[in-house]
């Protein structure tokens, strides 16, 4: 399966690329800056230049699956959050539908809500709107909602739940493994679930979704 990772240069997405490279899947890293290419060249992973604020058909054409792991980042304004996490995400979904790329895995977050009043309300609202749009498409979607992200080494033990208004943390390593693990698990299609650190092996947790 040829899998494009949108936002590939991010901390979590780079781990997703590494996990894909170690699997039977064929990763494609979507990047916004040619200077990011050397990192993926070293991994033997092809790249494509594209920007979510513009059409990305050339990047998605020929791909079998999308893993959306892009984000505007914590150092940008609310306008970029809307442009990337909401509008850019929807652009990728529409493009996937046009190009016949059925499998779509969204990296979302716990506590997303279109009526959010949290300290990150602009982010939670943007992600919630993107998630809602995705759930109304005919894509084979999965939405993974992690907690606060940590760079600690993953231990392969997690907790999953249909409840997404929670508190907790998630290691990027475990998150990357789950995003890739969903690709071949038909039972995760049409599912939205939270992902926190826990005591259940990832394979068992995904079987229970």
**Which residue reads 């016949």 in tokens?**
100
Largest CA distance in the chain: 43
Distance of alpha carbon 145 from alpha carbon 193, whole angstroms: 6
Asked about 123 being catalytic, the answer comes back as yes
Catalytic residue among 40, 104, 123, 141: 123
Which residues have CB under 8 Å from 186's CB, separation 6+?
none
Sign of CA dihedral 71, 159, 23, 143: negative
Distance of alpha carbon 84 from alpha carbon 167, whole angstroms: 25
Q: List the catalytic residues.
A: 123
């Amino acid at each position: 399966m040829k899998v494009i990772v949108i936002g590939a240069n991010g901390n979590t997405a780079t781990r997703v690329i590494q996990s894909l490279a170690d699997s039977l899947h064929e990763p494609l890293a979507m990047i916004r800056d040619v200077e990011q290419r050397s990192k993926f060249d070293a991994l033997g992973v092809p790249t494509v230049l594209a920007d979510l604020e513009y059409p990305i058909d050339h990047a998605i054409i020929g791909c079998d699956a999308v893993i959306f792991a892009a984000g505007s980042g914590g150092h940008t304004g609310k306008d970029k959050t809307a442009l990337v996490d909401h509008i850019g995400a929807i652009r990728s979904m529409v493009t996937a539908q046009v190009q016949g790329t059925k499998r779509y895995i969204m990296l979302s977050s716990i506590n997303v809500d279109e009526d959010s009043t949290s300290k990150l309300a602009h982010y939670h609202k943007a992600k919630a709107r993107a998630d809602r749009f995705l759930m109304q498409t005919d894509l084979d979607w999965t939405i993974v909602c992690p907690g606060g992200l940590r760079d600690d080494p993953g231990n392969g033990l997690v907790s999953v739940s249909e409840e997404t208004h929670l508190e907790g943390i998630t290691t990027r390593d475990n998150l990357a493994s789950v995003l890739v693990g969903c690709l071949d698990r038909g039972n995760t299609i049409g599912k939205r679930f939270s992902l926190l650190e826990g005591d259940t092996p990832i394979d068992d947790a995904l079987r229970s979704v």
